[in-house]
A = this chain, B = another copy of it.
Amino acid sequence: MAGRQGQGGGAGEKGGGLDFPRPLTTVDIVIFTIRQEALHVLLVRRGHAEGEPFPDAFALPGGFVDVARDADLAACARRKLVEKTGVVSPYLEQLGSWGSATRDPRGWSATHAYFALIPASAAEAALAADARWFALDATGVKPKLAFDHAEILQAAVQRLRSKVEYTSLPAFLMPEEFTLPELQRTYEIVLDRALEKSAFRTRMLSADLIEPIAKMRKGPNRPAQLYRLKAAAAPVYFARTFNAPE
């Protein structure tokens, strides 16, 4: 291997040929929720200490893997999620990794990106001081993001939209109890397109996903049956997408 330069290995190294430079290793999380009838993503403002790249810019929550605290990548992601939102066990899925010589001015770096879905109710409860929700429109998010985070965010939105076509992912954006029209509204917000009511209901009710509870949602009109997620934490996969995309 060419280009090895002097840089000590980690703790426990016994001189086994690991004396070459290591990339920086980070974990970043794209955290989605629904607020005010729109898809939102959580961003944090970066500090401006000496040597910090992208001072005061907004970025995805994340940071370096701490080899002393994080048993594995998912644990690192959960730690960062709980630090920023207080949410303990959301829907969390690995999104992919981005690594290059140039994405971080401090040197070769690779980030492991995750994406999380949390219900609106949890989205406000214990937010970190430096964190803020931003609405997503067609092109992304308003502030210019640090590093390659705009690209990562775009990939996350794409992954979310595409999986919503054939999975029950939006169920993880709902509160404990919700009605079928509310669930459909969540699908429509994420997909940014209207869905057929009756096909939607048939699909959701025939999937082994939700169960009715002995309660109704009251309003200024006909009350709606309330449902809750069945125990299964895994999303349901449907055999078809919602619409053949034109």
Contacts and interface: CB of A to CB of B under 8 A. Distances in A.
A18 interface: yes
Contacts of A130: none
A158 interface: no
Contact of A10 (B23, B51, B99): B23
Interface residues of A, number: 57
A56 to B, nearest CB: 16
B240 A108 contact: no
Given A2-B69, A71-B100, 20 more contacts: A2-B66, A5-B11, A7-B7, A10-B21, A10-B22, A10-B23, A10-B108, A16-B50, A18-B24, A20-B66, A20-B67, A22-B25, A23-B67, A25-B25, A25-B99, A65-B99, A65-B108, A67-B107, A67-B108, A72-B101
A73 interface: yes
Contact of A12 (B10, B12, B68, B106): B106
A interface, over-half SS? loop
23 contacts: A1-B63, A1-B66, A3-B66, A3-B68, A3-B69, A5-B11, A5-B68, A10-B22, A10-B23, A11-B21, A12-B106, A12-B107, A16-B51, A20-B66, A21-B67, A65-B99, A67-B108, A71-B101, A96-B96, A110-B110, A110-B112, A239-B244, A240-B240
A97 B97 contact: yes
